[in-house]
Chains A and B, each alone.
Chain A
Amino acid sequence: MRPSLTWVPRLTLAALLLPVGAGLWGVIAPLLGLVHIAGADPDQAIADLLAWPGLTDASALSITSGFGATLMALALVVLILSQLHGTRGLAVLRRLLSPLLSMPHAAAAFGLAFLIAPSGWIARLFSPWATGWAQPPDLLILNDPWGIALTLGLAVKEAPFLLLMSLAALGQIRAGQSLLIARALGHSLSGAWLKTVFPAVYRQIRLPVYVVLAYSMTVVDVAMILGPTLPTTLSVQILRWMSDPDLSLRLLGAAGALLQLALVIGALAVWWVGEHLIAALGRRWITSGARSHGIGLLRPIASGLGTASAAVVLTGIAGLLVWSFAGQWSFPDALPAPLTLRNWQRFGPALGAPIQETAIIALTTTLIALILCIGSLEAEARHNLRPTTRAMALLYLPLLVPQIAFLPGLQVLLLNWGLTSGRWVVILSHLVFVIPYVFLSLSDPWRAWDRRYGTVGRALGASPNRVLFRIRLPMLLTPILTAAAVGCAVSVGQYLPTLLAGGGRIATLTTEAVALTSGGNRRAIGVYGIAQTCAALIPFAIALTLPRILFRNRRALRPE
């Protein structure tokens, strides 16, 4: 009798959905008066929210930065793929994807902030010889009230994610054949791509696009660094209310969280309607048979924008690195006058504890996520289960529900139940975000594994478990390590779950780095930002090198 594994997918879904469900309940229940928060009156909280003078601006910012960043990121990806399909330029961008993706949002935002500020690196490089600026100009670039810096920052950071998802989708559709036929009919390469390949790709990356939209509307750490301050975005304001000494403001925060959730649902609905409108127009354009030759001229723009957006993030990180070694560095010097090890000597020793905490949380979370995902995939294989579309949508749910909408609720519930927050609660909250990425990263290679190896093994008398542990897992080591690296990077980058579930007591590299921005010491931020980036990159490096060493005489098992 084989042990049944059907409970593993259920447990995995529970790990995903229970915290989200409980968190949403923790937001809604106190507002309905079902859970009592001392000194707080639900009606008063809603009235206070509506009376908050920044409400209109903050809500508008959430919408404009969300739509703006998503549209720009998607447009960039479509431009790159349609113009650079099959070129060497795309291969280069593809190789840059892992570092771009794994870079924590906060580190990327610090880097960007220093790059584009009026006293930033770009201005320094061109001053005073080209600009004539002996002093930085009084220009409102960062923290502008319209959220332009925030939107651009999010767009360049989200584009790699959409590009990765599109490349994965391209692998599943027969792009080459469609292109060949369309080109034979006289379409230009990019015209053919837009008309025949893009609709199929978009259907596959729809959920990731929704994730980007929901994320960009509600992000907290990036908004704290690049976003406006008069007022802030709604999500940052909710966080402030949730951490005010006046507990009755918790309920105001909950009301804000509910409004934020409603805004996200509304935006997703608007996007969905927009999709259908564009699809209808697009279908007319495709079936009209018009040959659009002019599109090919966009190629230099595509390579230019693609390179620029990657360069902005990578140069930002280079800026952090330089700051971490900087002595006195005044405007308009392009580089610091003395380079010094002092910053690392000063801040380095204090890195030990947060590095350890970050590693414990990331490794435990990733290990649990891997066990759950492999268990689910193995259950799928052994019991011939097919994941339904609905189950896949559930996998995306934690990524679609804004963190700022359900994490405060989780905090309210923990408090109400008198539970201490701590490392385990942080790990459970990280799991919610790590599981989907690990699963998405692992499922395709897992399902693509040639099951005849297993059949042979079984025929030779091996038990299903022996087949799993001796054949399938070793053969899939490369994708498993990659999934683990993705999981670690996701965990390392989490700010809000660590802060709220950890009760402020769990100090990881990311919480320390974001706390330091409230200070503004660029040298310290440089040291922490670099440490944070390394923490996210090292697992990728291991995932790339370990199989090369282990499989030095098994060429087909090595990563490309």
Chain B
Amino acid sequence: MKRITAALAATLLATTAMAQPDPTNWESVLEEARGQTVYWNAWGGSTTTNDFIAWVGDRVAEEYDVTLEHVKLTDTADAVARVLAEQQAGKNEGGAVDIIWLNGENFASMKRQDLLFGPFAEQLPNWQYVDTAGKTVQTDFTIPTDGYESPWAMAQVVFMYDTADIDAPLPSMNAILEWAQAHPGRFTYPQPPDFLGATFLKQALLDLTDDPAPLMQPATPETFDKVTAPLWDFLDKLTPVLWRQGQAYPQTGPQQIQLMNDGEIDLAISFSPGEASTAIANFELPDTVRTYVLDKGTLGNASYLAIPYNANAAAGAMVVANFILSPEAQAHGLDPLNLGYGTVLDMKTLSDEQKAAFDAIELGMATLTPAELGTALPEPHPSWMEMLKAEWTTRYGVK
């Protein structure tokens, strides 16, 4: 009797395991992925990332017979909402979303609610190249990834400034404030809750605070009020001298770049060190734009790919995630002519031939070298971003 139960249990386990591809058996993943269509849900507002995703689609179609469809979102949260809705409707397989580009609060929220497939990231064949020692690729906004998301690009805050209008970099938030007061209407940031706008708030907070330690812990109302007081003081002074006196804001990062190209603003924040060079190459910024980092350093983080627990094509999604970790895709993404995103790979693990592809890339006239970028400051716990966005909306989001 006992043996029958055990056999039954084993069969049941085997069937559940069958339903989910096993990342440790890569051959079977490749086999299952063949012919699958993978829906990649990623923000569609940036034409360079759209082009990169299309390129990935061409390559995985050639190499692995996987069809990649880019579902263009106006907000990554839309994809999270979709998976959540499916879970609540009991749709536990055949979901609409196969792979999501995310990090921070969206990852934290999906992980907390058991909406993720995995762990898979550290079983991917190309994980061997990932720089786990030198780059923050195993914690996401202080939350351990535990293999539930695979890193694909490094980002760090830089400030873009037009050398035709600003002589020298403005090395701190207070220097930016002084400059803005002397040049009213020439600076703005994307309107929070936009991701980049919220990043500006965090960056300002890190630069203005004396003690960043509480930011690594979940925020409480008491620590929040105490730690953010200098930020609101700073913004109260900055807002009246912003572009349009703070009565309108660009809604996204690319809109902010368009404003810079139109000559409406002279200084803008970016979360991608190569973005300015890529934009110059595409006529989207004047070639007088350069980038710099603040003296106290700037925020950095990794972008990740995660697979929902009910993905229809989890095998295909892993093939895509693995391909993006390949030296070929990483070098393609690093090139400012394509994307200009930082790589997550460790150059020491690459063969000479693979390394040569990286060395050959012209980083672009406006891109800082890794040494100039310095070490990135770690992201605060996601709860800070949530509370900063809410507080900003209450203070400045309604006229």
Question: A-side interface residues toward B, CB under 8 Å?
Answer: 38-39, 53-54, 57, 117-119, 135-136, 138, 140, 142-145, 228-231, 243-247, 326-332, 340, 346-347, 349-350, 415-416, 418, 420, 503-505, 507, 511-512, 514-516, 518-524
Contact status A145-B96, CB under 8 Å: no
B362-399 interface mask toward A, CB cutoff 8 Å, 1 = contact, 0 = none?
00000000000000000000000000000001101111
- Residue in A119, A135, A230, A330 whose CB lies within 8 Å of B398: A230
Contact status A520-B258, CB under 8 Å: yes
Docked complex Cα distance between A484 and B77 (Å): 38
Interface of A is mostly: loop
B289-331 interface mask toward A, CB cutoff 8 Å, 1 = contact, 0 = none?
0000000000000000000000000000000000000000000
Contact status A520-B89, CB under 8 Å: no
User: B106 at the A/B interface (Cβ < 8 Å)?
Assistant: yes
Contact status B248-A516, CB under 8 Å: no
Q: Which of chain A's residues have a CB closer than 8 A to the CB of B91? A: 418
Contact status B191-A418, CB under 8 Å: no
Q: Which of chain B's residues have a CB closer than 8 A to the CB of A418? A: 89-91
Contact status B78-A144, CB under 8 Å: no
Q: Which of chain A's residues have a CB closer than 8 A to the CB of B356? A: none
Contact status A142-B248, CB under 8 Å: yes
Docked complex Cα distance between A349 and B184 (Å): 42
Question: B-side interface residues toward A, CB under 8 Å?
Answer: 39, 41, 44-47, 50-51, 54, 71-75, 77-82, 84-85, 88-91, 96, 106, 109, 184-186, 191, 243-245, 247-252, 254-259, 261-264, 282-284, 286, 393-394, 396-399
Contact status A512-B72, CB under 8 Å: yes
Docked complex Cα distance between A233 and B26 (Å): 50
Q: Given the known inter-chain contacts A138-B244, A245-B84, A415-B89, please indicate yes or no for A520 contacting B399, CB distance below 8 A.
A: no
Q: Given the known inter-chain contacts A119-B263, A243-B81, A350-B50, please indicate yes or no for A520 contacting B71, CB distance below 8 A.
A: no
Q: Given the known inter-chain contacts A515-B44, A519-B252, A520-B258, please indicate yes or no for A138 contacting B263, CB distance below 8 A.
A: no
Q: How far is the CB of A426 from chain B (nearest CB, A)?
A: 14
Docked complex Cα distance between A238 and B191 (Å): 18
Chain A's closest residue to B44 (CB) is: A515
Q: Which of chain B's residues have a CB closer than 8 A to the CB of A524? A: 47
Given A243-B75, A518-B45, 15 further pairs, Cβ under 8 A: A135-B263, A138-B245, A142-B248, A143-B248, A230-B191, A230-B399, A245-B80, A247-B81, A328-B286, A350-B50, A415-B89, A418-B91, A512-B72, A515-B45, A521-B258
Docked complex Cα distance between A522 and B71 (Å): 21
Docked complex Cα distance between A54 and B41 (Å): 30
Contact status B72-A245, CB under 8 Å: no
- Residue in A53, A140, A326 whose CB lies within 8 Å of B283: A326
Docked complex Cα distance between A63 and B4 (Å): 71
Contact status A521-B284, CB under 8 Å: yes
Chain A's closest residue to B75 (CB) is: A243
Q: Given the known inter-chain contacts A228-B248, A231-B398, A330-B286, please indicate yes or no for A504 contacting B77, CB distance below 8 A.
A: no
Q: Given the known inter-chain contacts A229-B248, A245-B84, please indicate yes or no for A515 contacting B286, CB distance below 8 A.
A: no
Contact status B77-A244, CB under 8 Å: yes
21 pairs of residues in contact across A and B, judged by CB atoms under 8 Å:
A117-B262, A136-B264, A138-B264, A142-B248, A230-B247, A230-B248, A243-B78, A243-B81, A245-B78, A247-B85, A326-B283, A330-B262, A330-B286, A415-B88, A420-B96, A505-B71, A518-B44, A518-B45, A519-B44, A520-B255, A521-B46
Which 8 A-B residue pairs are closest in the complex by CB-CB distance? A520-B255, A519-B45, A138-B185, A119-B262, A331-B263, A245-B80, A519-B254, A518-B45
Chain A's closest residue to B45 (CB) is: A519
Contact status A505-B96, CB under 8 Å: yes
Docked complex Cα distance between A39 and B113 (Å): 13
Q: Given the known inter-chain contacts A326-B283, A522-B258, please indicate yes or no for A504 contacting B73, CB distance below 8 A.
A: yes
Q: How far is the CB of A37 from chain B (nearest CB, A)?
A: 8
Docked complex Cα distance between A521 and B258 (Å): 7
Q: Given the known inter-chain contacts A245-B81, A519-B255, please indicate yes or no for A138 contacting B88, CB distance below 8 A.
A: no
Q: Given the known inter-chain contacts A140-B244, A416-B89, please indicate yes or no for A245 contacting B264, CB distance below 8 A.
A: no
Docked complex Cα distance between A524 and B283 (Å): 12
Q: Which of chain B's residues have a CB closer than 8 A to the CB of A416? A: 89
Contact status A520-B254, CB under 8 Å: yes
Q: Given the known inter-chain contacts A243-B75, A350-B50, A521-B258, please indicate yes or no for A230 contacting B81, CB distance below 8 A.
A: no
Q: How far is the CB of A179 from chain B (nearest CB, A)?
A: 48
Contact status B398-A53, CB under 8 Å: yes
- Residue in A231, A331, A346 whose CB lies within 8 Å of B262: A331
**Which of B248, B250, B394 has most A Cβ within 10 Å?**
B248
- Residue in B50, B82, B393 whose CB lies within 8 Å of A504: B82
- Residue in B50, B244, B251 whose CB lies within 8 Å of A518: B251
Chain A's closest residue to B285 (CB) is: A328
Q: How far is the CB of B309 from chain A (nearest CB, A)?
A: 15
Docked complex Cα distance between A229 and B191 (Å): 9
Q: Given the known inter-chain contacts A119-B263, A415-B89, please indicate yes or no for A504 contacting B248, CB distance below 8 A.
A: no
Q: Which of chain A's residues have a CB closer than 8 A to the CB of B251? A: 229, 518, 520
Q: Which of chain A's residues have a CB closer than 8 A to the CB of B45? A: 515-516, 518-520
Q: Which of chain A's residues have a CB closer than 8 A to the CB of B393? A: 53
Q: Which of chain B's residues have a CB closer than 8 A to the CB of A349? A: 54
Q: Given the known inter-chain contacts A38-B88, A231-B397, please indicate yes or no for A245 contacting B106, CB distance below 8 A.
A: yes
Contact status A346-B47, CB under 8 Å: yes
Chain B's closest residue to A331 (CB) is: B263
Chain A's closest residue to B394 (CB) is: A53
- Residue in B73, B74, B243, B247 whose CB lies within 8 Å of A145: B247
Q: Which of chain A's residues have a CB closer than 8 A to the CB of B257? A: 520
Q: How far is the CB of A484 from chain B (nearest CB, A)?
A: 29
**Which of B71, B77, B184, B258 has most A Cβ within 10 Å?**
B258
Q: Which of chain A's residues have a CB closer than 8 A to the CB of B39? A: 505
Contact status B47-A519, CB under 8 Å: yes
Q: How far is the CB of A316 from chain B (nearest CB, A)?
A: 16
Contact status B88-A247, CB under 8 Å: yes
Q: How far is the CB of A248 from chain B (nearest CB, A)?
A: 11
Q: How far is the CB of B144 from chain A (nearest CB, A)?
A: 21
Q: Given the known inter-chain contacts A244-B81, A329-B283, A519-B45, please indicate yes or no for A138 contacting B184, CB distance below 8 A.
A: yes
Docked complex Cα distance between A7 and B245 (Å): 61
Q: Which of chain B's residues have a CB closer than 8 A to the CB of A519? A: 44-47, 252, 254-255
Chain A's closest residue to B286 (CB) is: A330
Chain B's closest residue to A347 (CB) is: B47
Q: How far is the CB of B323 from chain A (nearest CB, A)?
A: 20
Docked complex Cα distance between A524 and B258 (Å): 12
**Which of B81, B84, B249 has most A Cβ within 10 Å?**
B81
Docked complex Cα distance between A145 and B89 (Å): 39
Chain B's closest residue to A133 (CB) is: B263
Q: How far is the CB of B302 from chain A (nearest CB, A)?
A: 21
Docked complex Cα distance between A246 and B261 (Å): 36
Contact status A515-B262, CB under 8 Å: no
Q: Which of chain A's residues have a CB closer than 8 A to the CB of B81? A: 243-247
Docked complex Cα distance between A327 and B285 (Å): 11
Contact status A245-B263, CB under 8 Å: no
Chain B's closest residue to A38 (CB) is: B88
Q: How far is the CB of B200 from chain A (nearest CB, A)?
A: 16
Docked complex Cα distance between A119 and B263 (Å): 8
Q: Which of chain B's residues have a CB closer than 8 A to the CB of A350? A: 50, 54
Q: How far is the CB of B349 from chain A (nearest CB, A)?
A: 34
Docked complex Cα distance between A448 and B273 (Å): 67
Q: Which of chain A's residues have a CB closer than 8 A to the CB of B397? A: 53-54, 230-231
Chain B's closest residue to A327 (CB) is: B283
Q: Given the known inter-chain contacts A145-B247, A346-B51, A503-B82, please indicate yes or no for A330 contacting B261, CB distance below 8 A.
A: yes
Q: How far is the CB of B82 from chain A (nearest CB, A)?
A: 7
Q: How far is the CB of B184 from chain A (nearest CB, A)?
A: 7
Docked complex Cα distance between A8 and B258 (Å): 52
Docked complex Cα distance between A248 and B295 (Å): 42
Q: How far is the CB of A346 from chain B (nearest CB, A)?
A: 7
